[in-house]
């Protein structure tokens, strides 16, 4: 739906993302070791080869995951950073997003879990 919504009207997109954001937030809270790779692929393929100006809603959703500090589970933290890393398909085309990710990672370099630190810097 994300990939095919590029030709939708603004009202249709707003309604889609109103419902989709609630669903995706619930998904991100309940990610498991079996599913986070699938959800990462979902975001990657949904935004692949697309103009970031047309994909700003999924980009903003993934950017919002940076500030989501509600997870105390290490797997959820690692999964969240894996999803954020799917923005690398846009490479240099979203500098403000990369700047905010970089600033957040700098603050988290002393995270107590090595696996989380490793995922952040990949």
In a 13 Å sphere around the CA of 70, the CA atoms on its Cβ side amount to 8
Q: Enter the pTM of the model.
A: 0.86
CB distance 52 to 94 below 8 Å: yes
pLDDT per residue as tens digits for the range 27-73? 988 888 899 999 999 999 999 988 888 888 999 999 999 887 655 68
Residues 6 or more apart from 93 whose CB is under 8 A from it?
Answer: 52
| Predicted pLDDT at 3 | 85
Domain boundaries, the chain: 3-121
Query: Residue 4 gets which letter from DSSP?
Result: G
| Predicted pLDDT at 5 | 84
Residues 6 or more apart from 43 whose CB is under 8 A from it?
Answer: 58, 62, 83, 86
């Amino acid at each position: 739906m994300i990939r095919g919504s590029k030709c939708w009207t603004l009202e249709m997109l707003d309604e889609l993302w109103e419902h989709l954001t609630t669903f995706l937030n619930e998904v991100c809270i309940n990610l498991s070791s079996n599913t986070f790779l699938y959800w990462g692929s979902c975001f990657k393929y949904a935004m692949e080869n697309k103009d970031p100006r047309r994909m700003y809603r999924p980009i903003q959703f993934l950017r919002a995951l940076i500030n989501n500090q509600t997870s105390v589970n290490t797997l959820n933290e690692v999964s969240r950073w894996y999803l954020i890393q799917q923005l690398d398909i846009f490479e240099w085309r979203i500098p403000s997003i990369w700047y905010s990710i970089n600033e957040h990672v700098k603050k988290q370099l002393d995270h107590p879990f090595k696996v989380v630190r490793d995922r952040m810097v990949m």
